[in-house]
Amino acid sequence: MVQLIDAGKVDLKPLISHILPMAEYDRGFTMVKGHSVQKVLLQPAG
């Protein structure tokens, strides 16, 4: 599966509904627990 993703044959973008900075992890977890989002991606700084 990783090879397919790396090759660009599988697009995961439609699965991610929100992208938040790691500093907002608490907001992301609250959103997921509340079932108001599909998937939240937490982006590390830098």
Does the global pTM surpass 0.85? no
pLDDT classification of 40: cutoffs 50, 70, 90: very high
> How confident is the model over 7-33, as pLDDT tens digits?
989 988 888 889 999 999 999 999 999
pLDDT classification of 5: cutoffs 50, 70, 90: confident
pLDDT at residue 46, as a whole number: 65
Q: Kindly tell me the sign of the dihedral angle through the C-alpha atoms of 13, 5, 33, 24.
A: negative
∠ CA(27), CA(31), CA(37), 5° rounding? 135
Domain spans, the chain: 11-43
Q: What does the chain look like in DSSP terms, one character per residue?
A: -HHHHHTT-S--GGG--EEEEGGGHHHHHHHHHTT--S-EEEEPP-
pLDDT at residue 37, as a whole number: 86
